Each structure stands twice: as structure tokens, then as C-alpha cells.
Amino acid sequence: MSTNARAAGLLFSAALLLSVSAFPMGEHAMPNKITTAQSAAAANLRQDMRKLWTDHVVWTRDYVIAAVADHPGAQAAAARLMKNQEDIGYAVAGFYGKPAGDQLTALLKEHISIAVDLIKAAKASDKEAQQQADVKWHKNGEAIADFLSKANPNWPRATLVDMMNKHLSATTDEVVARLGMNWENDVKAFDAVYQHILAMADALSCCSSPGCGGWCIHLVSRREKGPEGPRGNRTRAL
């Protein structure tokens, strides 16, 4: 079974377990079995969501490296990256329905398309086109946050916007370093991209599980801010 199909099934299982846990526990209830099933579903969902979002940043990096170097592999990397957005949408569709999955896929594909335009503008030193792409990129990030917060009340919009801004910020750092041939910063930037996307995947998968109440995403947000405060709203020129 593919990762996205498995994730969709686990999301459905999480929803089913949530509906079961809403009923009072009677004399025939089996709390231990339900708790075990919930724990297993949550652990597997976390693993599979991490795989999908890891693919997102890995194939983004593959594309950035190829595009900056004018390597012919850029087109294949872009196609695989677009497929990843379909995989994420498919997983979401298993919980929120196909229309929701299709909407998220469309938003994520727009996210990738804008990034492609931004890289092209930066390579050409077209500051105006670069600025326009950056504005569109952040508006798209807000649209993704809007969609997710409406799909699940455990995902606060403001927190999701902050997470998306951090993702854009860290990815921009990666592109800046690659264009400037600053290889040490390039490696550090991808480390930051990867750690952040794992935290984001954990927050989304945890708050899709029964009994969350939204505490997961708030905990991840506080941990991400750290002692120096939020990092996601910085603006830089490529």
C-alpha cells in the first residue's frame, strides 16, 4: 500500500475513533483496546505524515539545486514535486473528503508554481518580478492556513500562518545560499527547513487524532519559537 493511501486510511481511522470516544463508556466498553488502537493509529499517522511532508522539502531542494544550476533534471524534479502535492491532498481527502483534498492539492501546487517563478526571477535579477512572486507566495501561504484552520478547529489560523511563514522563510534562506554559492549556509538552511517541516507534520497529525483539543499545535508553536522568539516573518531579498 502506498504511503498516501495508508495515511488516508489512518486519517479515517482517527475520525472513527474520535466518534467512538464521544460516547459514554458503558459496562461493555473496552477502554484499553480503544486506547491501544488510538495510540497505534496516531503513531502510524505521525510517521506517514512525516514521510509526505519530508518528500515535500526533499523534492523542493532537488528542484532548487537543479534549477539554480540550469540542470536538465529540473523538469523531472518539478514533476515529482507536483506529485507530492497530490499525495498530500489525497491523504487529507481520506479525512475531510475529496473536494477538500482537491482544494488543498490546488493550493499546494500553486505554492510550488510561485516558488518556481520566484527562483526564475531571482536568477534573472528581476527584482520587480521577484517581489511580486514573494507577495503571491505569502498570500498563498495564508490561503493554505485558512483552508486548514477551517477544515479542523484544532488548527488555529494564526498559528498556521506563522508555521507557513517559517516554511517560506527557511526555504528562501536555502535558495539565497544556493544562489550565492554559500555551501555551509546552504546545508544549515536545509537542516532548518527539514526540522521545521517535521514539527509542522507532527502538529498536523497530532491534532488530527482523537482527544487533541488543539494542545499539540500550540505546544509545537511554542517550541519552535524558542528563546529568541518567532522566526517566520522575516523578509529578505534573494
Q: Whole-angstrom Cα distance, residue 138 to residue 9? A: 31
The domain containing residue 133 runs over which residues? 3-225
- Establish if 213 belongs to a structural domain: yes
Specify the number of domains making up the chain.
1
The three three-digit cell numbers of residue 56, written as one number: 515535500
Residue 153 lies in a domain: yes
- Whether residue 193 lies inside any domain: the answer is yes
**238 within a domain of the structure (yes/no):** no
**Is residue 230 assigned to a domain?**
no
- On whether the CB atoms of residues 180 and 161 are closer than 8 A, the answer is no
pTM metric for this prediction: 0.75
Query: Could you tell me if 49 and 200 are in contact, meaning their C-beta atoms sit under 8 angstroms apart?
Result: no
- Residue 197 burial (CB < 10 Å; 0-12/13-18/19+)? buried
Asked if the structure places residue 236 within a domain, the reply is no
Q: In whole angstroms, how large is the CA radius of gyration of the chain?
A: 19
**Ramachandran area for residue 195 (φ above 0: left; ψ -120 to 50: alpha; else beta):** alpha
From first to last of the 238 residues of the chain, give the pLDDT tens digit: 555 555 544 443 444 333 333 333 343 343 444 466 556 666 777 888 899 999 999 999 999 999 999 999 999 999 999 999 999 999 888 888 899 999 999 999 999 999 999 999 999 999 999 999 999 999 999 999 999 999 888 888 999 999 999 999 999 999 999 999 999 999 999 999 999 999 999 888 876 544 554 545 554 555 555 434 444 433 344 5
Determine the Cα–Cα distance for residues 229 and 223; give it in Å rounded to an integer. Answer: 10
Could you tell me the three cell numbers for 157?
489560523
Instruction: Indicate whether 235 belongs to any domain.
Output: no
The verdict on residue 233 lying in a domain is: no
CA distance 3 to 16: 20
